[in-house]
C-alpha cells in the first residue's frame, strides 16, 4: 500500500531523515519506534504532505505522492492524526467531527460514520455540543482520532496517540486502534510506548537519528535484545 524509498528530509540545514525506506501492506498495523527526535514525526509529516523530501520516493497504492499537497493526499485516502491532538478549541465536538468529512459529499454516509464514531467513543457523544477546548487530554485524543476516521481513510497515520494520557485512557485508545484496523483501515503508528505498540502491531521499524536501524515482525522486535535494552525497559 505504501512504499517509502530512501527519503531524505531537512529542516533548514539539519538533516532529519537520512535515507529512510519502509513498506506498509494493506490491512497491517505497522509501528515506528524510536527516541524523541529520531525522526518519527518528521516521517509522518512527510507522508501526509506537510514536509517535502529532498530526495527519495513515496508511493501510495502504486502512485507517487512525494511532494504533493496535503489536501491531495487526504483526498487519496491518507489521514494524519498529529502529535498533540490539535483540535479546534472554539468549535463543538460535533463541528470538529463534521470538519473531518469536509472533502466528502455523501451526506447519508457521513451521518453513518458520525454514528460509528459515537459508538466507538461514547464519551464524545455525551459531549457533542461541548466546546472542544474544554475536553480533557484523553477526550481530545479521542476527538482527533474520530475526526480522522470521518475522512474515511484507507491509511491512518497516528503520531503518539497515547502521549500524556492516563493509563486507563491508553488502554482505550489502543483498543480503538485495533478496532479501526479490523474495520479495514491500515495503520502506521508512531508511539513512545514500544511495549504497547508492539503488542498490537504486525511489524515494526526502529528509527534512530533519522535512519532505520532495525525492522521485523512485532514478535521478532519484542525478542530483540538491543530493543529490549533501549526501548522496552530492559525486560
- Residues 66, 188, 107, 140, CA torsion sign: negative
The pLDDT tens digits for 30-63 are 999 998 889 999 999 999 999 999 999 999 999 9
**Residue 226's pLDDT band (cuts 50, 70, 90):** confident
Q: What values do phi and psi take at 200, rounded to 5?
A: -115, -10
The pLDDT score that the predictor gives to residue 165 is 85
Sheet arrangement for strand 155-159: 78-81, 155-159, 186-190, 29-33, 203-208, 211-217
Domain boundaries, the chain: 2-231
Residue 115 has pLDDT above 80, yes or no: yes
How many CB atoms neighbour CB 213 within 10 A? Answer: 14
Q: Report the CATH fold assignment for 2-231.
A: Rossmann fold (3.40.50)
Mean pLDDT of the 1-30 span: 96
What the block records as the C-alpha cell of 232 is 522496552
**Distance from C-alpha of 161 to C-alpha of 84, rounded to nearest angstrom:** 8
What the block records as the C-alpha cell of 179 is 478496532
The pLDDT tens digits for 133-181 are 999 888 998 899 999 989 889 999 999 998 888 888 888 889 989 999 9
Amino acid at each position: 500500500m505504501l512504499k517509502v524509498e530512501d527519503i531524505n528530509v531537512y529542516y533548514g540545514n539539519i538533516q532529519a531523515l537520512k535515507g529512510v525506506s519502509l513498506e506498509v501492506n494493506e490491512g497491517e498495523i505497522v509501528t515506528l519506534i524510536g527516541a524523541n527526535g529520531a525522526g518519527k514525526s518528521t516521517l509522518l509529516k512527510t507522508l501526509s504532505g506537510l514536509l517535502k523530501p529532498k530526495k527519495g520516493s513515496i508511493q501510495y497504492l502504486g502512485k507517487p505522492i512525494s511532494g504533493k499537497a496535503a489536501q491531495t493526499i487526504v483526498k487519496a485516502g491518507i489521514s494524519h492524526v498529529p502529535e498533540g491532538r490539535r483540535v479546534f478549541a472554539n468549535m463543538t465536538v460535533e463541528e470538529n467531527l463534521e470538519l473531518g468529512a469536509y472533502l466528502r459529499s455523501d451526506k447519508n454516509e457521513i451521518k453513518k460514520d458520525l454514528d460509528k464514531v459515537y459508538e466507538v467513543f461514547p464519551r464524545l457523544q455525551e459531549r457533542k455540543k461541548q466546546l472542544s477546548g474544554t475536553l480533557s487530554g484523553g477526550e481530545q485524543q479521542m476527538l482527533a482520532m474520530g475526526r480522522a476516521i470521518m475522512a474515511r481513510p484507507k491509511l491512518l497515520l497516528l503520531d503518539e496517540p497515547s502521549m500524556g494520557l492516563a493509563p486507563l485512557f491508553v488502554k482505550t485508545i489502543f483498543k480503538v486502534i485495533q478496532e479501526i484496523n479490523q474495520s479495514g483501515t491500515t495503520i502506521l503508528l508512531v508511539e513512545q510506548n514500544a511495549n504497547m505498540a508492539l503488542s498490537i502491531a504486525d511489524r515494526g521499524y526502529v528509527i534512530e537519528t533519522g535512519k532505520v536501524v532495525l525492522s521485523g515482525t512485532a514478535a521478532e522486535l519484542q525478542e530483540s535484545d538491543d530493543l529490549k535494552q533501549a526501548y522496552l525497559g530492559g525486560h
